[in-house]
Every structure is written in C-alpha cells, then in structure tokens.
A and B are shown apart, each in its own frame.
Chain A
Amino acid sequence: MGISRINKRFETLKSENRAGLITFTTAGDPDYETSLALLKGLPAAGADIIELGMPFSDPMADGPAIQAASIRALKGKMTLKKTLKMVESFREDDDETPIILMGYYNPIYIYGVDRFLDDALKAGIDGLIIVDLPPEEDSELAIPAKAVDMAMIHLATPTTDQKRLGQILENGSGFLYYVTIAGITGTAKPDLAPVKQALDNFRKISQLPMAVGFGIKSAEDAARFAKFADAVVVGSAIVDVIKSNINQENVANSVLESRVLSFVGELANGVKNARK
C-alpha cells in the first residue's frame, strides 16, 4: 500500500472537512505486548494516522518524555525487526489506518536500506519520518523509498525558508510535517499565528497535506491547530500517560491501556470538532 494508504486517508479527512489526529507512541514502550495492544486500540479511540517511534539509543531531536520511552523500549529488548513484526500484527485487523515509522537513520542503515524498505512495506508500513535525514541526504533513503512508493515525510521547521522548502518537497511525499517550534519534542508550547502563517506560505507552492506537531499537549491545543492544519500530531503528552501508568520496573498497571486510549479519545474529539 505505502503512500496510497496515506493519500486515501487525507482524501477522506478532506471530504469530512476536518483535520486528522496523528498519535505518536514508541514501539515497545513500555513492553511489546502493551505497545501492540495500544496500537490496535488507537484507530477506534480516534487516531486517524499512527506514528510509531522506532527506539534509538541516541534520540537527539527528542525531549525527555520520548527519550525515556526509547530507553524503556530498548530495556525491553525492542529492535527494529520487532517493530516491523508489531505492525504486521496490527495489519491483521486494520487495513486502512496509515502507519508511519518515526526515528533515526542508523538502525535502518544497519538493517540495510533496500531490505528495510522491502520488509517495511510487507509489514504494512506506509511512510517514514527520519529526523536526521535532511533533504541534503535524500539519496540515502528518500529516493530509494520513492521508487517503491514508501512515503518519505519530510520535516519543515521555523528555520526553513522558501528556497529550502523547494528542496524538501522535491523528494518528500505523503504529507509535510511542520515542526511548530525550533526545538525538541514535548517541550516549548508553540504560538498559533506564526504556524498558520508558515502553512499559508507553504500552501502557495505545495499541494501536500500539512501536519503540525511538537509541543501540542492537550485536546484544546490540538483543536486550535486543527482549525487550519490538515493533521495534528500529539506525541509526548500520550507518552506521558504511559509513563504515569507504569511502575519502576516499567511494568504497566491494569488501567494503562484504557487511560491512554481515553486520552486519545479526548484529543480526537478536540480535533474533530475544531472546525464546527
């Protein structure tokens, strides 16, 4: 499926005149089984697109919440191979919700780019967000991904000017992920006006759907951005709910799943009703 599953989802959202909710959780956080159960519950809870973090030992663009999630997953022996297997299990019941893997390049590079693209598509993954691959490094993964219809979601940031945007769009596909702040995940709260301004500018030169993320923590926040963005990403705030429902040995309590999914439900309500 790859990119077409993402395109189809954005067409549906457009026809419903609403923004989509993109949820982020880290694969294997706090353990494989809980993480898979969450994944399976997300679409019904209201996630329109699922962003799944590939744990990495050195998550340089992430704030404390997602760093800790990565460490928890790695402590539980999570690997890229198991992340692919997790998505394969998810696909047994859901053939429509797009899944995007988010992470850093090294685990993919070590897995082998061609083999990874092949296995990831087979597992049912539709797109990739790789934080440390700017357009200057498109030949590493973006171009091979394009050739097999795996979406390569590029990031644009407050430091991206019009000229760079052209470069970013050249091999980017699926949607454009606008990083609302100059910073790391889950920290500073973004201002609305400059984000809207940036998206207005980007829309003049691109037809790609525009998602916004970084620092969006509540249903109210999400709703404010959902008025004009095509999708809103919430990550650290969801990961925080996971963190507050595990013990010191990273063992989930009995209400973790329902707490996380009900929070996602709140976020989804905010996003769905934003334009009403």
Chain B
Amino acid sequence: MSEHKINSYRTGPDEDGHFGIFGGRFVAETLMPLILEVEKTYNHAKHDPAFKQEFHELLKEFVGRPNPLYFARRMTEHLNGAKIYFKREELNHTGAHKINNCIGQILLARRMGKTRIIAETGAGQHGVATATVCALFGMPCVIYMGAKDIERQKPNVFRMKLLGAEVVPVTSGSESLKDSMNEALRDWVTNVEDTFYIIGTAAGPHPYPELVRDFQCVIGDEAREQILEKEGRLPDSLVACVGGGSNAIGLFHPFLDDDVDMYAVEAAGLGIDTDKHAASLSGGAPGVLHGNRTYLLMDDDGQILEAHSISAGLDYPGIGPEHSHLHDIGRVKYVPIDDKEALEAFQLCTKLEGIIPALESAHAIAYVMKLAPTLPKDHIIVMGLSGRGDKDIFTVAKALGEDI
C-alpha cells in the first residue's frame, strides 16, 4: 500500500496483473467484469485513508495486532547457531495469519455492495477466518472444503458451523484444496451478482495476488519495526512456509529491497523425488490454473496432479504467481521439507518453546533447524510462525501412532 522506487522488487504486478511472465487473468468471461470491478474498487480503496484506517483498527481491536516478534531463546540455544525470532501470527484471533486478509477482503466486499461471501479452505484456517469476519459483519457465508480435508480437520469444520457458515463438502477430483477452489469458482460464476469470493492465498486472477499480499504485508511491516526496535538492525534471513504463499509473501515483501536472505519452505510430502509432495517450485513447471500462470504440479499432458502433504494447508499443486517470479529471478530461495521433518519440528518447538505450531508452520521450523546451526551467532533469522497447531493434534497423534 505504499510507493516504491523503480529498480525495486516491490513494483509488481503490472497493470494486467503480471509478475514477470506469471499472474494474469485466466477466468471465464462471466467473471471478468466482476474481476475488473474488484480491481477498480481495490485501487480506490488502497488510496483511501478511511479504508486503511478501518482495516488497521480491526486488526488492532479484533485480531489483536500487533502480535509479538518473539525471541525463541531455547530453540536458539538448542540449535547453537543463528539467533531465532518467531513472528507470532499464531497469536492472532482465529489462530493464524489468514484473518489479516479476510478483514481486508470483507471490507472490499462491503465497499462493492456484495451481500454474500464464499471461500475455499484446505486446513480450515482460511474457512474459519472467513466465517469469523462474516459473523462480524453479519453476512451469509458458504465455505467449500474437500471431503478429505473435512475428515482430517474436524475441529475447524465445527468451528465454521458454530460461526454460522455453511460448509459444503467437495467430492470432485482429489477432494482437497484445488477442488474446493474449483467449486468456489463454480459458485461464483453462478452467483456473480451478489457474491464476493474471499480467496485465501496470494493466488488466483489479478488483482487477488496483489491485494492478498498487500493485506498480509502487515506481517512484514510489523516484523521490520519490531526487529529494528529489538536489535537495532534488519534481520539477515527470513524463513516462512509456502502453500499458496500468503504468509510468506506478507513477511518477505517489505524486505525485498533490503539485504536480507529469504527462504520459502515448500511441503515435500513423502519426498520431492516421489509423486506425493506439494512442492510446485521444486518439482513443477509453469502452467495455467485458477486464474493465473504460475508453477504447477502436472503431468506432460497438462493435467493437474494431486498434491500431498501431511499439512492440509500446504496441500495445493500450485503457488502464488509472485512467488513463481521471485523464484525465477532468484530473489527468494525455495526449499523442500518433508512430512517427517515437519513432524519432528512440530514436536521440538512444542517441547522447547511451549508453542504448538501448525503443521504448515512446522515446515518453516524444520528448515530453521537445518539453517541455524550452519550460521554464526550474530546472524538473525526471523521466521513466520503462521498458525497454531491445535487443529493438527489428531493428525500428529495418528502419525505418531497414538490413539486420542
């Protein structure tokens, strides 16, 4: 939401929604006029002080921001290398970074006079965040969720129902996040007059990757201020997990023009060399799906493959287009972490820091566990702790062979 210099990594997208060759507006004609209206409304809103004020007021009073930039002392001592800070998005109301974006988008929806909200969800965090803002503003809400995800994220399904949302099980395709997105798009095309689609990640047709990023930049903006206060300087490295990539882009973007290394951690599932992973940058190629050109997991006929990760929130065969661009130009390094490593990190963080992280965030922690010991003690890492792990305890128990 601010101006940036030329020769900046922060100027994208261009007016047609492109980050390099990625992004764009690959949607059905029925949606096109609406997409253009979202763009127009957002372009006005982002320069409207009243919009910004309402957004930040809600982040403060309802979400509980700013959340802490927390020095992970025991983790730092244990790894015996770089100094580790966690940006505590898991302390937000609803337990993850997703709410930041939902607040922004529902304000846009209201500005456009839309009266019904739809969303897709994988782990259920975005669904819960969307259902929450819909309750806050008294708007009807329909959440599309893969039948497989409903099974592995029961607590979140019940939360959404309590919040007044209708949760529609998606039984097509692989019954997970990509299929929920297909189904949400089908709903949108059918109810284009009154409905706003709150996309949960920095992907989809322009202007979604841009506006989701902008709403999530509160993560990086705060982290920047906080680290300057605590350390008197910027961090040396940033680490965050990526599925679609909204928490990572939110943390990274405000630092893109600084001398800061960035590591985005993809879910490698059972391993990057198997066919059961969700690492679209490490194991995919550029293609077109869900409104944008980006790296995708697909076969040589262009059919989209099912992704796999122990973490439902990373279980998506694509990634936001700005990440694809940052990957291609080499500004951000994309690294894989598999299910097993994430599970170990989940347990370590819980025992050492007294914080149960989301399995998504555990991927970032696992990479910090690899990275920190190789670095000097004056090296500062800021890691995005994107969500809390209460929702994952059943999955983790099952993986550890425990019956709860």
Task: Tell me the A residues contacting B by CB distance below 8 Å.
Answer: 55-61, 63, 67, 71, 74, 79-81, 104-111, 131-137, 154-161, 164, 168, 179, 182-184, 187-188
Contact = CB atoms under 8 A, between A and B. Distances in A.
Contacts of A137: 24-26
Contacts of A67: 172
Contacts of B300: 110
The listed residue with most B CB atoms (<10 A of its CB), out of A60, A136, A160, is A60
Given A58-B179, A132-B27, A164-B29, 11 more contacts: A58-B178, A59-B182, A61-B185, A61-B186, A67-B172, A107-B301, A110-B285, A132-B28, A132-B288, A134-B27, A184-B190
Contact of A182 (B26, B192, B296, B302): B192
A71 B182 CA distance: 14
B303 A57 contact: yes
Interface residues of B, number: 39
B38 to A, nearest CB: 13
B291 to A, nearest CB: 8
Interface string B284-303: 01011111010010101111
B16 A136 contact: yes
Given A110-B298, A184-B186, A188-B190, A157 B304 contact: no
Given A56-B303, A106-B302, A61 B28 contact: yes
A139 to B, nearest CB: 9
B155 interface: no
Nearest to B179: A58
Contacts of B185: 60-61
Contacts of B32: 134-136, 159, 164
Contacts of A168: 29
Interface string B185-198: 11001111100000
Contacts of B305: 57
Contacts of A106: 287-289, 296, 298, 302, 304
The SS class assigned to the B binding surface is: mixed
A58 B30 contact: no
The SS class assigned to the A binding surface is: loop
A157 to B, nearest CB: 4
The listed residue with most B CB atoms (<10 A of its CB), out of A74, A106, A168, is A106
Contacts of B304: 57-58, 106
B33 interface: yes
A131 B33 contact: no
Given A159-B192, A188-B190, A179 B29 contact: yes
Interface in B163-203: 172-173, 178-179, 182, 185-186, 189-193
A131 B28 contact: yes
A50 to B, nearest CB: 22
A182 B195 CA distance: 12
B396 interface: no
B28 A155 contact: yes
Contacts of A60: 28, 182, 185-186, 290
20 contacts: A57-B173, A59-B182, A60-B185, A60-B186, A61-B186, A80-B302, A105-B26, A107-B302, A108-B302, A110-B287, A110-B298, A134-B26, A134-B29, A137-B24, A155-B29, A159-B29, A159-B34, A164-B33, A179-B30, A182-B189
Contacts of B289: 58, 106
